[in-house]
């Protein structure tokens, strides 16, 4: 009989190996050097942050963040760093009020990745089957596998959209968890709002549906709908969101999950770090201030959308049409050669993601200066690796 201690050791080991695998696949722990325009100069890079000068277009960060208000709030919060965390419950309450949810329906985590792992621990561990798209954001699926769950991966449709019908067809008696990333990473596409709504209505009668809305701030309102109203209706639906994208707080680690009360309670049970301590006071302060800075958020959104359309037009002109993106990145479909191209770009100071090597490259929208460097390096890199 496994004791609670055995189980805890297993979870810790599994978590460590899933984290290592994820970090390797995402290229995490590498250099950092985003230029932040605007009045305030970016803080100097910490000593462990190497490679100033690398243009980071591989992790879908906001190159203009954090906002002035968030920086100020974070800096003030540092002074109280000797005290244990406060403010988590208040921020959960503030977020819940904005969405028309009860406070206990919103859970804060150290990044939405952690919340996706919590969903895997709650419903995707040994004995359970998890249905996801392929390729997709890998965190939930990898963590479920680390905990002994079986992941069924369903290819996207020919237009690079999540294939909801094919995913639904794979939901069987052992399925406990279904993961839909919308807008999708890495393809950048969205699914039809009505189709996703009815998919969630049907599938949530059989399994918990997690809808990952990390990029929900970017899509055109006519083509995208959040699934938060289904949470309000009490369906078996969890919606995750992050402060790492539009809010520009990726390094501070704040994400949220919204869920009906019973699912929220199940998620809280597997939250590590002690319920109110999972997110640091610095991150909580920054996230709360950022939420109130609508002008900053709107300006980042506009610049991102303009940069994204310019990037797609550049790639089209280079003979590489891309699926319509509703995010802060563009996906370049390539059945082969993506890792070579990524390496050739890296040697020219540009980092992109080739996390899904048989599918293509993913390029984040950077600052205007970043994109000038990207375009020059991209032309050079392609010329360098083109067979003579």
Contact positions vs ligand PLP (CB under 6 A): 60, 111-113, 137, 181, 185, 212, 214, 242, 244, 250, 255
Instruction: Report long-range pairs for 97-100 (Cβ below 8 Å, ≥24 apart).
Output: 98/291, 99/228, 99/232, 99/258, 100/232
What's the closest the beta carbon of residue 185 comes to ligand PLP, in angstroms?
4
| 246 vs 311 by CB, closer to ligand PLP | 246
Q: Which helix (H) or strand (E) holds 312?
A: helix 294-317
What's the closest the beta carbon of residue 5 comes to ligand PLP, in angstroms?
29
| 60 vs 162 by CB, closer to ligand PLP | 60
Alpha carbon distance 237, 309 (integer Å): 32
| 36 vs 250 by CB, closer to ligand PLP | 250
| 141 vs 255 by CB, closer to ligand PLP | 255
Q: Which helix (H) or strand (E) holds 56?
A: strand 55-56
Alpha carbon distance 226, 39 (integer Å): 33
| 77 vs 214 by CB, closer to ligand PLP | 214
What's the closest the beta carbon of residue 97 comes to ligand PLP, in angstroms?
21
What's the closest the beta carbon of residue 69 comes to ligand PLP, in angstroms?
20
DSSP letter (8 states) at residue 8: H
What's the closest the beta carbon of residue 1 comes to ligand PLP, in angstroms?
35
What does residue 261 show for φ and ψ, rounded to 5 degrees?
Answer: -50, -40
Q: Which helix (H) or strand (E) holds 68?
A: helix 68-78
| 25 vs 150 by CB, closer to ligand PLP | 25
Alpha carbon distance 71, 76 (integer Å): 9
| 87 vs 135 by CB, closer to ligand PLP | 135
What's the closest the beta carbon of residue 60 comes to ligand PLP, in angstroms?
5
DSSP letter (8 states) at residue 353: B
CA distance between the termini of the chain: 64
What's the closest the beta carbon of residue 264 comes to ligand PLP, in angstroms?
18
DSSP 127-193: T-EEEEEES---HHHHHHHHTT-EEEEEE--TTSS--HHHHHHT--TTEEEEEEESS-TTT-----H
What's the closest the beta carbon of residue 283 comes to ligand PLP, in angstroms?
11
Tokens describing residue 58: 């591989």
Neighbour-count burial of 272, counting CB atoms closer than 10 A to its CB (0-12 exposed, 13-18 middle, 19+ buried): middle
| 257 vs 311 by CB, closer to ligand PLP | 257
DSSP letter (8 states) at residue 35: -
Task: Tell me which residue has its CB nearest to ligand PLP.
Answer: 111
């Amino acid at each position: 009989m496994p004791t609670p201690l055995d189980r805890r050791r297993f979870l810790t080991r599994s978590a460590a190996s899933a984290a290592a695998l994820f970090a390797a696949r995402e290229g995490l722990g590498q250099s950092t050097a985003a230029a932040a325009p605007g009045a305030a100069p970016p803080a100097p890079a910490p000593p462990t942050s190497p490679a100033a000068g690398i243009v980071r277009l591989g992790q879908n960060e906001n190159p203009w963040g954090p906002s002035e208000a968030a920086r100020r709030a974070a800096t003030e919060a540092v002074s109280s760093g000797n005290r244990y965390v406060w403010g988590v419950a208040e921020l959960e309450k503030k977020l819940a009020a904005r969405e028309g949810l009860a406070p206990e329906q919103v859970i804060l985590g150290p990044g939405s990745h952690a919340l996706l792992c919590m969903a895997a621990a709650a419903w995707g561990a040994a004995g359970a089957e998890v249905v996801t798209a392929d390729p997709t954001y890998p965190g939930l699926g990898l963590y479920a596998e680390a905990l002994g769950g079986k992941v069924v991966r369903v290819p996207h449709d020919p237009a690079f959209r999540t294939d909801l019908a094919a995913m639904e067809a794979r939901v069987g008696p052992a399925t406990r968890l279904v993961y839909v990333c919308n807008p999708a990473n890495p393809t950048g596409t969205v699914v039809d709002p009505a189709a996703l709504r009815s998919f969630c209505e049907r599938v949530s009668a059989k399994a918990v549906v997690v809808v990952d809305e990390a990029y929900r701030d970017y899509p055109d309102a006519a083509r995208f709908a959040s699934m938060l109203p289904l949470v309000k209706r009490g369906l078996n639906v969890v919606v995750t969101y992050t402060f790492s994208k539009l809010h520009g707080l990726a390094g501070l680690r704040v994400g949220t999950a919204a869920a009906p009360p019973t699912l929220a309670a199940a998620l809280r049970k597997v939250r590590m770090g002690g319920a109110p301590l999972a997110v640091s006071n610095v991150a909580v302060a920054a996230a709360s201030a950022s939420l109130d800075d609508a002008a900053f958020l709107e300006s980042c959104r506009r610049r991102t959308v303009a940069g994204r359309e310019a990037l797609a037009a550049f790639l089209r002109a280079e003979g590489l049409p891309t699926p319509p993106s509703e995010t802060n990145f563009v996906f370049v479909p390539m059945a082969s050669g993506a890792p070579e191209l990524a390496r050739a770009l890296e040697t020219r100071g540009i980092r992109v993601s080739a996390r899904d090597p048989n599918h293509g490259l993913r390029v984040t929208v950077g600052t205007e200066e970043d994109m000038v460097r990207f375009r020059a390096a991209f032309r050079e890199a392609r010329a360098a690796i083109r067979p003579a």
